[in-house]
Amino acid sequence: MTQLIWNGLFVGSFYALIALGYSMVYGIIKLLNFAHGDIYMLGAFIGFTVLSSFGGITASMSIISLLFVLIISMLLSGAAGVAIERIAYRPLRNSPRLAVLITAVGASFTLEYGVSAIAGPNPRVFPVRLGGNSFDFLGARLSVPQVILMAIAVVLMLGLNMYVQRTSRGRAMRAIALDPKGALLMGINVNAVITWTFFIGSALAGAAGVMAGAYYGKIDFLMGFIIGLKAFTAAVIGGIGNIKGAMLGGLLLGLLEAFGSQVFGGQWRDVFTFAVLILFLTLKPTGLLGERVTERV
Amino acid sequence: MSGAKLGENTDATMAPRRIGQPQSRISQFFESRQLGWVALGIALIMPFIIATNYAMNIMTTAAIFVLLASGLNIVVGYCGLLDLGYIAFMAVGAYTSGIIAKAFDLPLIFTIPAVLVMTILAGLIIGAPTLRLRSDYLAIVTLGFGEIIRLTANNLSITGGSSGIFGIPGLELFGIDLQQPVIFYYFCILVVSLFVLASGRLGKSRLGRAWRFVREDEDAAEAMGIHTYKVKLLAYIFGAVWGGIGGVLFAAHLSAVSPQSFVFLQSALVLMAVVLGGMGNMRGVVVGAVIISLLPEFLRDLGNYRYLAFGILLVAVMVFRPQGFWPARAWEPERPSDPPPEPVAAAGRAAKTKRKAR
């Protein structure tokens, strides 16, 4: 039981990291960034490349080198997110929603097959895997890497929350989410803040990618597709556009999945998740923490 | 009302651009009624030009692809609902017909009623809860639905698991075996052109006008008395039926169905055909579908680069030419009973209403 909860929370923290980017971007410009899951994949591949080129540093990945790779990968995948926003989304800011959604699908496609063209279509084995002992805690078996990765995820999430709540940039983000025109009139550089939001969201997804690569040890160019869908589910469960909701939704989805696959069997895990998504959209489309948004004409 | 929403209603890049008869000679040619016959003629002549098994195989696949694109055009092009799991309906159709045909030893043609029931059910299950929500949610739910169908087919034993079902009996009609490649190709062309025609006619019907109204401005459509939810659901169900029939043809063509045929890539390719061809314009969509399905055959050597190119192309089209290469034009033939327009009087009226508005 505690084992299930722990596993759920561990996987859930990955979902939460990715869901944050989905939710932030959606909150600010009401765009479903389909390419977000692929940024996660890109982050994993950047981490892979960095580790391969500095292969001699560590055999069993030390914390320092993991952090180093993590930061480089976050910066680069953040930059990729900004580039996508600039090239694909910004010219369409005032276009019909359908056009923007299709562009997002195109961006996702470009990332997936771009990486596949460069790195090859076959799965790659991450050069270093986090090794470590495992220990028992309250009847659950925890391993050291799990604890480390979870700690990194929690630190990143808390940092983001502080950033959005305490800094002036964070206040600007919240202002734009509330009312883009009003924010513009109050002298906020809306474009700069949107760019910055894309950077942060993509950087978090990139971090999740590196962490997943280091933990599971195998990466491929389609790994972002399913997890992007799941992160979206997490964002919907928590209430899309809400940062705390995305974190809560991610953890909750991880738990649901852990128990769901226990009950229905592992091969039904993804089906169960998407069924949860459809159920949530039917019964409570605003999510747990989302506010009721009435669309005015 | 937020800025984004305002932009959505006023921006006319995707809207039909002109009312009235097309002006130039070229436009007239492209809008002419004979064009469909020309396309059908080309499709019918093709086997006389090249009739290797390989070519027939590709062309049959292309014909089925055209059917899928014309179905997705109803959902995306006419009604403006983004469906990212369209291939799931094809999967439902293919599996239903394959399983029933094998279980009861029926000819494939008799499974069509069951296929219709199943695809309409699938359309209802996925459409009914989500069509009340914003269109973005629909996009992601359809994406999830596509995965659910594929994974379910992968997990269940009745669908043969990951190896799928094979040995599906071929099509047979009035004692004629249609499995011969060329004959099957002609049969496909017949079915596909009927469905393409039906889809085009649907677009011009009362329902089609309602769809386009919903696409352009849902709130206004609602205010004018269109039951938007019902209309959207209908678009969705029509799309599902088209996909299901495509699935039957697919099962008959390959005589085997497996989950690998229904990955997201396939849905994205169908969507690409609709978007590149010109959303809402059936002719453009047919051309787009033929190009998208044949192009990879010519670019086999490029490997995964061709999908990369597709992705870039999709973004580029949306940024530079969102209406597609051959966009829909709204023009309705003037009926003889209509009074001829009086430019002066009309201008006067316009001025008057303008004054009144102030």
Nearest to B20 by CA among B345, B339, B333, B357: B333
Whole-angstrom distance, CA of residue B101 vs CA of residue B251: 10
What distance in Å separates residue A110's CA from the closest CA in chain B?
4
Whole-angstrom distance, CA of residue B289 vs CA of residue B62: 7
Chain A contact set for B144 (CB, 8 A): 229, 233, 274, 277-278
What distance in Å separates residue A200's CA from the closest CA in chain B?
22
Mean pLDDT of A232-261: 88
Residue B69 has pLDDT above 90, yes or no: yes
Out of B11, B84, B126, whose CB is closest to A96?
Answer: B11
What distance in Å separates residue A142's CA from the closest CA in chain B?
30
The proportion of chain A whose per-residue pLDDT surpasses 90, expressed as a percent, equals 23
What distance in Å separates residue A119's CA from the closest CA in chain B?
11
Whole-angstrom distance, CA of residue B141 vs CA of residue B126: 8
- At A242, is the secondary structure helix, strand, or coil? coil
Chain B contact set for A97 (CB, 8 A): 8, 135-136
HSE-CB at A113 with a 13 A cutoff on CA atoms is: 19
Q: Which domain holds residue B195?
A: 30-357
Chain B contact set for A295 (CB, 8 A): 5, 134
Whole-angstrom distance, CA of residue B254 vs CA of residue A81: 41
User: Quick check: is B4 in a domain?
Assistant: no
Q: Does B136 touch chain A (CB under 8 A)?
A: yes
Highest-pLDDT range among A96-100, B99-103, B325-329: B99-103
User: Quick check: is A200 in a domain?
Assistant: yes
Q: Does B224 touch chain A (CB under 8 A)?
A: no
Q: Which amino acid is at A190?
A: V
HSE-CB at A223 with a 13 A cutoff on CA atoms is: 26
Pairing relation of β-strands B256-257 and B172-173?
unpaired
Q: What is chain A's mean pLDDT, rounded?
A: 85
Mean pLDDT of A208-219: 87
User: Which residues 284-343 of B are in CB contact (within 8 Å) with A?
Assistant: 303-305, 307-308, 310-315, 318-319, 322
Mean pLDDT of B132-142: 79
Q: Which domain holds residue A82?
A: 2-283
Q: How many CB atoms are located within 10 Å of the residue B204 CB?
A: 11
CA distances from B151 to B146, B157, B162, B259, B355 (A): 9, 12, 9, 8, 62
DSSP secondary structure letter of residue B261: G
Q: How many CB atoms are located within 10 Å of the residue A107 CB?
A: 27
Taking each helix axis from N to C terminus, what angle separates B264-277 and B87-104, rounded to the nearest 10 degrees? 120
Residue of higher predicted confidence among B323 and A187: A187
Which residue out of A22, A105, A225, A232 would a mutagenesis test of the B interface target, given it has the greatest number of B Cβ atoms within 10 Å? A105
User: Quick check: is B90 in a domain?
Assistant: yes
CATH of the domain at B332: 1.10.3470
User: Quick check: is A59 in a domain?
Assistant: yes
Dump pLDDT digits (tens) for B239-272.
999 999 999 999 988 888 888 888 888 898 899 8
User: Quick check: is A39 in a domain?
Assistant: yes
- B43-76 exposure pattern, b = at least 16 Cβ within 10 A, e = fewer: beebbeeeeeeebbbbbbbbbbbbbbbbbbbbbb
- At A1, is the secondary structure helix, strand, or coil? coil
User: Quick check: is B23 in a domain?
Assistant: no
pLDDT at B336: 54
User: Quick check: is B160 in a domain?
Assistant: yes
- At A136, is the secondary structure helix, strand, or coil? strand
Helix (H) or strand (E) holding A273: helix A269-283
Q: What is the DSSP string of A165-200?
A: HHSHHHHHHHHHHH-HHHHHHTT--HHHHHHHHHHH
Nearest to B93 by CA among B113, B75, B77, B107: B113
Q: Say yes or no for a CB contact (<8 Å) between B133 and A285.
A: yes
Residue of higher predicted confidence among A153 and B52: A153
Out of B137, B151, B154, whose CB is closest to A285?
Answer: B137
Q: Which amino acid is at B333?
A: P
User: Quick check: is B18 in a domain?
Assistant: no
Residue of higher predicted confidence among B162 and A205: A205
User: Quick check: is A30 in a domain?
Assistant: yes
The residues, any chain, with a CB within 8 Å of residue A211's CB and separated by 6 or more, are A14, A17, A70, A149, A152, A153
CATH of the domain at A190: 1.10.3470
pLDDT at B357: 44
Mean pLDDT of B312-336: 72
pLDDT at B332: 52
Chain A contact set for B126 (CB, 8 A): 278
Chain B contact set for A116 (CB, 8 A): 304, 307-308
Out of B4, B148, B155, whose CB is closest to A274?
Answer: B148
What distance in Å separates residue B354's CA from the closest CA in chain A?
23
Q: CA-nearest residue of chain B to A94?
A: B7
Bridge partners, B165 (sequence order): B257
User: Quick check: is A38 in a domain?
Assistant: yes
Residue of higher predicted confidence among A248 and B300: A248
Nearest to A111 by CA among A194, A227, A222: A222
Domain count, chain B: 1
Mean pLDDT of B76-95: 91
Dump pLDDT digits (tens) for A24-36.
888 888 888 889 9
First to last CA, chain B: 22
Whole-angstrom distance, CA of residue B275 vs CA of residue B82: 11
Give start and end residues of each alpha helix (H) in chain B.
3-10, 25-31, 34-49, 53-72, 87-104, 112-130, 135-155, 181-204, 206-216, 218-223, 228-254, 264-277, 282-298, 305-320, 343-357
Whole-angstrom distance, CA of residue A75 vs CA of residue A108: 19
User: Quick check: is A151 in a domain?
Assistant: yes
Which residue out of A36, A110, A226 would a mutagenesis test of the B interface target, given it has the greatest number of B Cβ atoms within 10 Å? A110
Residues in chain A: 297
Domain count, chain A: 1
Nearest to B139 by CA among A105, A235, A222, A20: A105
Whole-angstrom distance, CA of residue A89 vs CA of residue A82: 10
pLDDT at B27: 65
Lowest mean pLDDT among A66-70, A260-264, A274-278, B130-134: B130-134
User: Quick check: is A294 in a domain?
Assistant: no
User: Quick check: is A297 in a domain?
Assistant: no
